[in-house]
Amino acid sequence: MTKSLNAIAQKLMTPGMGILAADESEGTIGKRFDKIGLPNVLELRRDYREMLFGASEAMTKYISGVILTEETLKQEAASGTPFRAILADADVIPGIKVDRGAFPMPGEGNEKITEGLDGLRQRLTHYAELGAGFAKWRAVITINDIAPTRNNIRANAHALARYAMLCQEAGIVPIVEPEVVGDGEPGNHSLERCAQVTGDVLENVFKELRLAGVDLAGMLLKPNMILPGINSRERPSVEEVARRTVEVLKEHVPAAVPGIAFLSGGQTDEEATAHLSAMNRIGGKPWPMTFSYGRALQNVALRTWAGRRENFPAARQAFAHRAHMNSLAATGEWSNDLDRAA
């Protein structure tokens, strides 16, 4: 089991490839559709995912895995071909978001706790039968004047560890995502405050993973980058963000972990790419680093598609461009000039 889990993790971390996060909840995808004037209906959600998954250049060259929702894992394209078959044809590993969302935690810090452990063992068995090779669980850590509390960090870390152990029991690679959010309220914290909280969170997460008996060689980490809050006046350079992120991760993430796949966390498309590339130009890291982006891969493609199947070719070209740029960033070879010239 350990060998097979590690083999899946290694394939997800194939050099120059990354993970497409297409696991938006029905509510989240509805908000994105609303911005371009589209109703949130099943047919359009299917068409949008079909546009992405059928982008052969992007999927075969730059994407190693796709995180799906339960709806999409079981869904078919308009032609009747299951999305799982389309991904298999591109040699892309299907994954599944298994948490049920982050809910308010009792207390005064506006903190959240992720739920979804009830019945998870049975759901994972079902997902494995459907062909899911990996899963994802997101914990949300808020920064404000009184948060995060020790209780919130520990509760989320413990839930992540229980989830990861259940995944490995089912033969599924867990992606562990403890996100220190930068766009919460008030969102004015400094880069160094983010570094301190992220380090504390990671220390607790790996303590709980060890206590639960999770095989670190059979998992991946999906962390936030070290950034100031979205409402902070601080404007660190790309190089400073990269340096502090790598420093924090080297201090708290064991070398046994096969790889790190970053979330974009509300950054612009270009910021997420630039920061990843800068980190990959820093030597001496014990694990490879790549992307596990949602919005930062999909934004332009979504607007180009605009709900019309006749826009599939142009939207797929936009998606392939963004995926290519992040593929270059995953090997430290991206540049602004390349991005603009393509």
Which of 105, 203, 221, 100 lies closest to 164, judged by CA?
221
CA distance 32 to 20: 17
Give the pLDDT confidence of 78-113 residue by residue, as tens digits. 999 999 999 999 999 999 999 999 999 998 889 999
Residue 128 burial (CB count, 10 A): 16
CA distance 224 to 176: 11
97 catalytic? Reply is: no
Residues in CB range of 330: below 8 A, 6 or more apart: 15, 16, 17, 18, 276, 280, 288, 289, 290, 291
177 catalytic? Reply is: yes
**Model confidence, pTM:** 0.97
Choosing from 24, 50, 177, 179, which is the catalytic residue?
177
pLDDT for the residue numbered 89: 98
Choosing from 11, 112, 136, 222, which is the catalytic residue?
222
Which of 194, 199, 282 lies closest to 234, judged by CA?
194
Give the pLDDT confidence of 220-257 residue by residue, as tens digits. 999 999 999 999 999 999 999 999 999 999 999 999 99
| Contact indicator for 325, 342 with CB cutoff of 8 Å | yes
CA distance 108 to 146: 8
Burial 75-94 (b: 16+ CB within 10 A, else e): bebeeeeebbebbeebebbb
pLDDT for the residue numbered 109: 85
Phi, psi (degrees; rounded to nearest 5) at 252 = -120, -15
pLDDT for the residue numbered 185: 84
> Could you say which residues of the chain have pLDDT below 70?
1-3
pLDDT for the residue numbered 107: 86
pLDDT for the residue numbered 1: 59
